[in-house]
Amino acid sequence: MDVLFSRDKKEQPEPVKARVTGKIPTWLQGILLRNGPGMHTVGETRYNHWFDGLALLHSFTIRDGEVYYRSKYLRSDTYNANIEANRIVVSEFGTMAYPDPCKNIFSKAFSYLSHTIPEFTDNCLINIMKCGEDFYATTETNYFRKINPQTLETLEKVDYRKYVAVNLATAHPHYDAAGNVLNIGTAIVDKGKTKYVLFKIPATVPEDRMKGKSPLKRTEVLCSIASRSLLSPSYYHSFGITENYIVFLEQPFNMDILKMATAYIRGTSWASCLAFHKEEKNAEVGSNLIKLASTTARALKENDDQVYCQPEMLYEGVELPRINYAHNGKRYRYVFAAKVEWSPIPTKILKYDILTKSSLQWEEDDCWLAEPLFVPTPGAEDEDDGIILSVVISSDPQKPPFLLILDAKSFTEQARAYVDVEVHLDLHGLFIPDTDFDSGKQAPSQEVQDSASDCHVVSETRRA
């Protein structure tokens, strides 16, 4: 991952017109909005983990066959404090910020004391959440930031704790058919209990919209689940959903709250306070802890009191999987994902057929690809009737970054949009159709240029 730290990215707050090759589907009108770390050094200080970098929002606006790109750093309190001090002064997941050596002893003592019960960062660099008619940059703390998806302007800071008692929450909420936001967070030692809280933020209701009220004020707790451990709750990145149930896995990867409270004093990061809980005292030796009939995966308790896991391998090296979200919580057939091989950086994207165990891949020399996002064709009936959007950057400095547009059925290239500015390798995001908000066009329509560039589509079949 060292290459990702080689240079901080410059923001491009004003829209830049892309050079389009190929043919963009006429129905594709909207904004691809994405989020991820863009700045890894501040002054002479450097972040220790890629997930700590300061959030850089960027977007591709697609209208009438034209594409415009812009990017802007999230003006979080964390960003502002760091830039003002010209050093990292707010601690992140893998980087603990310490007082300036020039500060006096009283300032240093106060900094150590304040980190015993830390004020978490609002550097919301992971994802984008739609809530009612508003959009928010999210991370895994209790904070998220409202943003303008058209200008990328940073708006108000929101604290989950004003609406639901959680100290942490996932950056990967789900949405039900009505557009309600479903999410889960952890309440740490709340009234003597540590628990996982499932909550719902309703879609905007007409009377609230007329009064200018946020749907956050109608946040509803669906249920809470007591943690098996008061001071070592499970760390979770996301959760599952079906048509009737929310599926939460209290996995044995735990946060040690006491270690987190003393991490600053001990000179370690919060990341070092996470560890696998190896014991499974109630299992019989030789027993398979996985009871699901739908998988061949096994987790066997052996004589040495260790549990040995044997996964059901569908496809090796898959990261950042996405589906046609209309099938979320239902039976689906296709998974779109990034593929990694010799390094953590994806060099291919793929379409995997769960039914036939076959796949299609797109790759090109020197290309690093972001999470593939599926956008359905209006009125589509087939699950894979739509297009795939992926942001591509190159390890070749002579090759500019571009937005890749593939036909989701055949995985053949439809178009690409080159931009002559720096683009960062991001994490997650969403596509906002123009029907979701009234947006003015940035420039008059113009015919696309050139023919589609060469690409490689590889078909292969694998068995689980």
Query: The tokens of 306 are what?
Result: 């260790």
Q: Per the annotation, does 237 bind a ligand?
A: yes
- For residues 18 and 446, what is the distance between their CA atoms, to the nearest angstrom? 12
Contact residues for 183 (Cβ-Cβ < 8 A; gap 6+) = 169, 170, 173, 174, 198, 199, 201
Q: Per the annotation, does 456 bind a ligand?
A: no
- For residues 37 and 200, what is the distance between their CA atoms, to the nearest angstrom? 28
For residue 1, the surrounding DSSP H or E stretch is none
Query: The tokens of 75 are what?
Result: 């003006």
Question: How far from 345 is each of 318, 335, 417, CA to CA, in Å?
Answer: 11, 19, 21
Contact residues for 403 (Cβ-Cβ < 8 A; gap 6+) = 18, 32, 60, 67, 69, 389, 390, 391, 392, 416, 417, 419
Largest CA distance in the chain: 71
Q: 148 φ, ψ to 5°?
A: -95, 115
CB-facing half-sphere around the CA of 424: CA atoms within 13 A: 32
Contact residues for 210 (Cβ-Cβ < 8 A; gap 6+) = none
Using DSSP's 3-state secondary structure scheme, residue 455 falls into coil
CB neighbours (10 Å) of residue 48?
16
- For residues 408 and 109, what is the distance between their CA atoms, to the nearest angstrom? 57
Q: Per the annotation, does 327 bind a ligand?
A: no
Strand partners, 130: 135
- For residues 327 and 430, what is the distance between their CA atoms, to the nearest angstrom? 16
Q: Per the annotation, does 172 bind a ligand?
A: yes
Asked if 51 and 7 touch (Cβ cutoff 8 Å), the reply is: no
- For residues 294 and 316, what is the distance between their CA atoms, to the nearest angstrom? 19
- For residues 151 and 138, what is the distance between their CA atoms, to the nearest angstrom? 17
Q: Which residues of 116-146 are buried (b: 16+ CB within 10 A; e: fewer)?
A: eebebbbbbbbbbbbbbebbbbbbbbbbbbb
Query: The tokens of 447 are what?
Result: 């015919």
Among 63, 52, 72, 65, which residue's Cα sits nearest to residue 4? 52
Among 332, 333, 293, 298, which residue's Cα sits nearest to residue 312? 298
Residue set of the binding site for Fe cation? 172, 237, 277, 428
Residue set of the binding site? 172, 237, 277, 428
